[in-house]
Amino acid sequence: MGWNHNFMGVANANIGEIDGLELLFIKSVNGVYTNPTEKGYIYGGYGPSGCMSDCDEFDPNTWTSKTSMPSPVRSDAAASTILTKGYIYGGNSEWSCLPDCDEYAPDTWTNRTNLSPGRMGLSASTISDKGYVYAGYCSSNIYQDCDEYDPDSWTSKTDMPSPARRSLSSSTISDKGYVYGGYNGGALADCDEYDPDSWTSKTSMSPARHWFTATTINDKGYLFSGRGSVWLSDCDEYNPDTWTAKTNVPSPIRNYLASSTIDDKGYIYGGDDNSNRLQDCDEYDPDTWTAKSNMPSPGRSYLSASSIST
């Protein structure tokens, strides 16, 4: 049996049931039902010539260059997916703090309402079809701000718990946001839960770190690499409120990387190994790592990523 449904903002979705198994199909304009396809997208970053505007699509295990992001070039931005569109927030354009918010509906870019204040080194996640932007910095100002983006409207929410922080990561687990680590005079081990609009401090991670990346796979958070007192190759699982060390990220050791989840597997993209900006792409199927096809040239760090179903 089947019935029409609205799934992830797509009208005329159809859910069918065969022997108790629900199957999801999206109806195309010609009346043919097809499965939605999830792909990873990487945005901007910092390459050999400075900040970048590149947008590249990853359909494991194939890379395709897409339409570049709107001006300005940028790195150290945040990204999340709301329904079937990607959103890029803030960032750094050759050391200018950006307030920009841009929407990506593959393969079309649209400028949206700016966030305030402009900042870099921020993080973002999506909770119940709204984007949430956390913390960041501009010059000597480090923020505790939490801002909600309900396209195309911004609302200031309750500040994150102290300390203010930058260079953090976040992910969403079961309709709650989790904000991990960061930097404020030193690497932080904080883990804070955001259940809009209430914050709760949770068990700290170890080691403390910043310039890492995080994603959610099957309702567990995963943190990859970064920098603490030393450069890290750690992979840690967060099953609220329990931390478990997992198999390390493959060589090279790296930070300033990005990640996303595609079909219940995590993917980490790019970064910097303290000598080179990387093109590496590695797949994490808990608890197994597999090297995948390199990202398009050039290697880059300080990039952002999200996955979009199309």
Kindly report, residue by residue over 63-72, the tens digit of the pLDDT: 999 999 999 9
Given a cut of 80, is residue 9 above it in pLDDT?
no
Note the pLDDT of residue 35: 55
> Residues 247-263: what's their mean pLDDT?
97
Please tell me whether the peptide bond between 60 and the residue prior to it is cis, using omega within 30 degrees of 0.
no
Q: Which two tokens stand for residue 263?
A: 């079909």
Pick the CATH number of 38-309 from 3.40.50.720, 2.120.10.80, 2.60.120.10, 2.60.40.10: 2.120.10.80
Give the residue extent of every domain in the chain: 1-36, 38-309
Which pLDDT tens digit goes with each residue over 120-164?
999 999 999 999 999 999 999 999 999 999 999 999 999 999 999
Residue 282: partners with Cβ closer than 8 Å, 6 or more residues away: 249, 250, 267, 268, 289, 290, 291, 292
Sign of CA dihedral 300, 303, 309, 310: negative
Query: For the chain, what is the mean pLDDT?
Result: 91
**32-55 tens-digit pLDDT:** 444 579 999 999 999 999 999 999
What amino acid is encoded at 187 in this protein? A
308: tokens are 């979009």
Instruction: Give exposure, 164-181, as e/b (b: 16+ Cβ within 10 Å).
Output: bbbbbbbbbbeebbbbbb
Would the pLDDT of 24 be above 80?
Answer: no
Confidence (pLDDT) at 248: 98
CB within 8 Å of 155: residues ≥ 6 apart: 147, 148
How confident is the model over 8-25, as a mean pLDDT? 35
For the stretch 227-241, pLDDT in tens is 999 999 999 999 999
Cα–Cα distances in angstroms (integers) from residue 41 to residues 68, 81, 290, 296, 308, in the given order:
12, 10, 19, 12, 7
Sole residue written with tokens 């910097």:
272
Q: What is the pTM of this model?
A: 0.89
- Burial of residue 123 (CB within 10 Å: 0-12, 13-18, 19+) is buried
Mean pLDDT, range 247-262, rounded to an integer: 98
Q: What is the mean pLDDT of residues 83-107?
A: 97
Which value, in Å, is the radius of gyration of the alpha carbons in the chain?
A: 19
Banded model confidence at residue 310, pLDDT cuts 50, 70, 90: confident
